[in-house]
Structure 1
Amino acid sequence: MSDPEKLPGIGHNVGSWPPRTISGTGAASKSTWVEIPDRNGAPSAWCYGDKRSYRPGETVRLFISATVSKLDIAIRQEGLKPTPLHHWSGLRVEFQEVPDQAYMKGCSWRETVALDLPEDLAPGAYIIEMRDPEGDDNHPALGHHIFFVRANRAENRGNTILLVASTGTWSAYNDWGGASHYRGLNTDYPHGGACPVLSAQRPWARGQVWLPPSAPRQVRKTRARQPMPPEYDSKDWAFANGYARYYASTGWASYERPFLLWAERAGYDVHVIAQDDLDLHPDCVDGYSCMAFIGHDEYWSMPMRRTVDAFVDRGGKVARFAGNFLWQTRLGEQGSTQTCYKYTARDLDPIRHENPKLMSGAWEDPLIGYPGAQTFGVNALRGMYAGVYHAAPRSTRGFNVFRHKHWSLEGTGLGYADTFGDEASIFAFEVDGLEYEFKEGLPIPLGTDGAPEGLQIIAMNWATTGEYGLPEHSYYRALEDSDARFAALVLGGDERPETVERYSRGSGMMVSFERGAGEVFCAGTCEWVNGLIERDFYTDRITRNVFNRFLGCDL
């Protein structure tokens, strides 16, 4: 949701882009950086396509800029056994300048090369890897890009997981060219230069598509054993190694790719689409019985939600192992732009008076009136942070079990009051919850915040929208109580201390419910996938239970 204002770590940039800095706001802040290519930087290459997804038989048009004169470019389908699609050897390229406000208006580069996709091409995620012809496999690639291929026909694909890559959230954190929905070079924008309109016609930031195994995750592996300032391992590593500030917050490399590898290893068939497709091509879900959402999944448009709601109502199953369902966006110009005014929506979004239901603010804002719980069972403003920054840094980082007889826990051996996933810190970063009360030792949704009738809270833990700790460590805090104040204003109507305190208390939940002819399971946390990465028994078994039920199989 938010971004650490202060960066206490010290590092030197060794990447191809020098850090362009902008002074942060606040009483004691450091500078931030964004990714802008340098013609005279280290050997590097950048790429974007005319679209984010295609059907077989369509033409992929690529726009490339590089600091070398030739590139070897390979395209492969992602998976346990990557499948080569195409290769160019010694392709002539050039450095293409980054125009002002490329983050908002696009790069407008000259087309470099095009590829006609085969009519029988398999659906999935396709990685573009760009290398220096003078190097070898021991040298790192100079850059990466990704695109998606949708299935060509609406045939029955009931035994296939449809993984939806969270491209809306990738876009929000992509600062390539000078700005994201969080930070930017243009100080005319509020909140540290956050730009409300972002272009898809630019490369992904370095680290969103590919990462080395050494890259830290957003959440530290260990908890501090005594009071200390918060530490920002991923941002320190990014600054020192020339990667994007937000690489660990979202992206294919950190979230969807590890899930895809786990699912294929477990024996599941997986197709992948861009989240944009739910808005631009809603028929792309036809024929599937199960959709999956993984990781940090924060930004959605209204048509995207309508596609998912309709899918469930007519009998589809949705598995969401993701957190932070918070902001409404709007796609424009056939998906080439994404608009989100976030905290300033009530004051600055041009549509706020004409059609407040489409205002690009928090879904739980009464002016929008479409809480995320109505689609996925949980809400972001009722949850938020755990085990990250100075927000519950000593959280147990696991789920506490309450309804141990629920079908999702079959074969786990877990009972009431057990905790699972804590060794892998799956309950961490940003989590989603509900308003609830305890009756006879069980959490019950109050139903006041959009929770569907019949929803069961299977497991949960607690979270906060505020940062706490010793006063001498306050300089290093990322957020203070800014999100608590926002939640208090939107949900409580004022920012009185008692209101802020109330909305600083949140939770994260694992829930399930039926709606229409379909069913939804949601583990509302960003870091569930780390349990799959670390092969945590409980996370693995629960995930299999969900997909086996939703696909009607036994793997």
Structure 2
Amino acid sequence: MSGTYPTPRSAWSPPNWPSPRPTGEGLEAWCYTDRFSYRPGDTVEVSAYTTAGHYSLTVVRDGARPEVVHQQTDLPGTMPDTPADAYAEGCGWPVTARVTIPADWPSAMYLLIIRAEVDGHAVENEHFFVVRSAEPGRRTPYALVLTTSTLISYNDWGGANAYRGIGDDPAVDIASPRLSMLRPLSRGFLRKPPGAPRNRYEEPVPPFWEPRYPVYEWARLRDYGRHHADAFWATYDRPFAIWAEQQGYVLDYLTQDDLDRDPSALDGYQCAILVGHDEYWSWRMRDAIDALVDRGGNVARFGANFAWQVRIEGTTQICHKYVPEEDPVFGTAEQHLVSLNWDHPLIGRPATATLGLTGFAGVYAGYGASAPRGHGGLQVYRPEHWTLAGTDLYYGDVLGGHPSRIATFEVDGCAHVVQEGLPFATGTDGAPANLEIIAMGPAVRYEEDHFAGTVPLGDPGVAAVEEYRGTQWVEREDGSRRPAYGSAMMATFTRGEGTVFNSGTSEWVAGLIHRDWFVEHVTRTVLDRLGGAA
């Protein structure tokens, strides 16, 4: 390819905005747990750091009606040393408190809040743990699988994550291929106030405007982590869980980490639910989902951006992404486990084989300089499909348009053709032959730079992509390059007696937040059918 594509500094890497880590100055308090999930009877080991003389821990069972279930007060504060590369190797702090899970704690998401006070000033931060059911499937057919691998990848606590942080130049984003679970979380993944910005435009943008990223502006002003809206509980799973509880659905909880470590984690459940941004998966995690479908279970995915293979090695997550040749398994008998995008032929297991769609056929919409004036919803092509029963939606209608804008930020699609007004998967990317594309929306692979490199973008693309996936770029006649295009898709397929529903949109939950009648109706239809109630 000829020409030079200008790469402006990423909007998330302005100067003088360091990632959180202990400084020993002022009032600080952080904590983490030794695992992400536990069963009744297990003991949670908590490691804490605070500049205060004492601190407290509060455990809150979160959801539609948050409930304080445990407290420890007047714990002695300590300031253990923190390695410079804690993001990769973990903090190594000693255990300072323990919480034994009572037998009567139900499966749920539990927030662990650390609080310290000095001279009337207080600081709080939070971690989490999941309690798994002692009898999977007994009280509910649904298991909500929390996307811990995407959380690990975006958590920049300690100085780096899977996108940025290594090196001294904020204009150059260098990611860490190794990320530890044994560290605190940047603020905002677990708790933030209602109305915090999301990764999309809420209102129409005027002609000749410059892209802005309210999520970063808001986070910097209020001392939240810059990636607070990119992953996990506060942005995605919590709004879904609250809505589901209010609708009468009972949920058990698991994490992706459980799927990796325990092949039987989904045994007993009829329907695995995935919500929001589940970008990172391990081979064993996919095995667990595939096994569920193969035995006649179902998947209800209200999420998007299935993209990268990771490996879990102890308490470390590995992902080399754009430099797979640096992965120790590259060129070995274990090369299928190399940590890069699932659609690469080195792996031989395309994303579409598990969930029908792939992040690399969709990606961005209504975010930054990516389809900024699009309708933000999914245009209906198969109104007769069972997922749309009872909605009164017609061919060409838009599901989840303004203000819900469910098909924004990151979306998934597949290779397809349109024949006589209907989209059909070609299968060239591994999509199942019986995949039904129900609704679609436009997307771009990377943000379009109309500003000659003078305006920071959220994802302007990286040179390394061209080295192994050059087809993502399309040349213009003038020699410059623009991103190739993709699509958001809502789709289903079956394998044996199992069914997979895929919304193909990370922002589906925004339709529930906005109480969009159509989005709520489809969500109930999917849950009832795949959970066995319909």
Sort the TM-score into its range (normalised by shorter chain): over 0.9
Distance across 2 between alignment mates of 1:190 and 1:166: 29
Structure-1 residue corresponding to 2:424: 444
Kindly state the Cα deviation for residue 471 of structure 1 after the two structures are TM-superposed: 3.3
Kindly state the Cα deviation for residue 107 of structure 1 after the two structures are TM-superposed: 0.5
Kindly state the Cα deviation for residue 377 of structure 1 after the two structures are TM-superposed: 0.7
Aligned residues: 525
Structure-2 residue corresponding to 1:91: 75
Q: Is 1:5–1:479's contact at 8 Å kept on the other side of the alignment? A: no
Tell me whether 1:351 sits opposite 2:329 in the alignment.
yes
- Aligned pairs for 1:237-252 (under 5 A) are 237-252=218-233
- Report the more deviating stretch, 488-497 or 319-328: 488-497
Distance across 1 between alignment mates of 2:273 and 2:480: 34
Kindly state the Cα deviation for residue 38 of structure 1 after the two structures are TM-superposed: 2.3
TM-score normalised over the length of structure 1:
0.89
Deviations 1:480-526, CA, capped at 9 Å, x for gaps: 3548x837943749987699979711111000011122100000111
In 2 relative to 1, CA 514–7 (structure 1 residues): closer, same or farther, beyond 3 Å?
closer
Alignment match of 1:36 (pick from 1, 7, 21): 21
Structure-1 residue corresponding to 2:39: 55
Alignment match of 1:78 (pick from 62, 65, 69): 62
Distance across 1 between alignment mates of 2:359 and 2:292: 22
Ranges in structure 2 where 5+ consecutive residues have no aligned partner: 1-6
Give the counterpart letter for 1:350 in structure 2.
Answer: P
Deviations 1:280-329, CA, capped at 9 Å, x for gaps: 12212111101100011100000000010000010111000111100000
State the identity %: 39
Structure-1 residue corresponding to 2:263: 282
Give the counterpart letter for 1:516 in structure 2.
Answer: G
Q: Is 1:285–1:311's contact at 8 Å kept on the other side of the alignment? A: yes
Kindly state the Cα deviation for residue 91 of structure 1 after the two structures are TM-superposed: 2.1
Structure-2 residue corresponding to 1:5: 9
Distance across 1 between alignment mates of 2:449 and 2:482: 18
Kindly state the Cα deviation for residue 178 of structure 1 after the two structures are TM-superposed: 0.8
Structure-2 residue corresponding to 1:21: none
Structure-1 residue corresponding to 2:346: 367
Structure-2 residue corresponding to 1:342: 321
Q: Secondary structure of the equivalent of 2:299?
A: strand
Q: Is 2:198–2:215's contact at 8 Å kept on the other side of the alignment? A: yes
Structure-2 residue corresponding to 1:153: 135
Structure-1 residue corresponding to 2:164: 183
TM-score normalised over the length of structure 2:
0.92
RMSD between superposed Cα atoms in Å: 2.6
In 2 relative to 1, CA 327–31 (structure 1 residues): closer, same or farther, beyond 3 Å?
farther
Deviations 1:455-499, CA, capped at 9 Å, x for gaps: 10000011001333643674233333548x837943749987699
Tell me whether 1:532 sits opposite 2:517 in the alignment.
no
Q: Secondary structure of the equivalent of 1:550?
A: helix
Kindly state the Cα deviation for residue 72 of structure 1 after the two structures are TM-superposed: 2.8
Q: Is 2:9–2:172's contact at 8 Å kept on the other side of the alignment? A: no
Structure-2 residue corresponding to 1:266: 247
Ranges in structure 1 where 5+ consecutive residues have no aligned partner: 9-23
Q: Secondary structure of the equivalent of 1:36?
A: coil
Tell me whether 1:326 sits opposite 2:326 in the alignment.
no
Kindly state the Cα deviation for residue 360 of structure 1 after the two structures are TM-superposed: 0.2
Q: Is 1:186–1:193's contact at 8 Å kept on the other side of the alignment? A: yes
Deviations 1:31-74, CA, capped at 9 Å, x for gaps: 65311122213x33211011111111011100011232222321
Deviations 1:419-464, CA, capped at 9 Å, x for gaps: 0211111111111101111111100000100111211000001100
Distance across 2 between alignment mates of 1:502 and 1:461: 19
Distance across 1 between alignment mates of 2:480 and 2:431: 23
Give the counterpart letter for 1:467 in structure 2.
Answer: E
Distance across 2 between alignment mates of 1:58 and 1:190: 45
Alignment match of 1:477 (pick from 457, 471, 474): 457
Distance across 2 between alignment mates of 1:93 and 1:506: 51
Q: Is 1:151–1:284's contact at 8 Å kept on the other side of the alignment? A: no
Kindly state the Cα deviation for residue 184 of structure 1 after the two structures are TM-superposed: 1.1
Runs of 4 or more, structure 1, over 6 Å off, are 188-191, 493-503
Distance across 2 between alignment mates of 1:389 and 1:378: 23
Kindly state the Cα deviation for residue 132 of structure 1 after the two structures are TM-superposed: 3.7
Structure-1 residue corresponding to 2:499: 519
In 2 relative to 1, CA 493–270 (structure 1 residues): closer, same or farther, beyond 3 Å?
closer
Q: Is 2:213–2:458's contact at 8 Å kept on the other side of the alignment? A: no
In 2 relative to 1, CA 201–409 (structure 1 residues): closer, same or farther, beyond 3 Å?
same
Tell me whether 1:143 sits opposite 2:121 in the alignment.
no
Kindly state the Cα deviation for residue 187 of structure 1 after the two structures are TM-superposed: 5.6
Deviations 1:175-213, CA, capped at 9 Å, x for gaps: 101110111133699962210000101011111111122
Q: Is 1:382–1:503's contact at 8 Å kept on the other side of the alignment? A: no
Q: Is 2:297–2:497's contact at 8 Å kept on the other side of the alignment? A: yes
Deviations 1:371-394, CA, capped at 9 Å, x for gaps: 111111101111110011211111
Kindly state the Cα deviation for residue 153 of structure 1 after the two structures are TM-superposed: 2.9
Distance across 2 between alignment mates of 1:56 and 1:394: 49
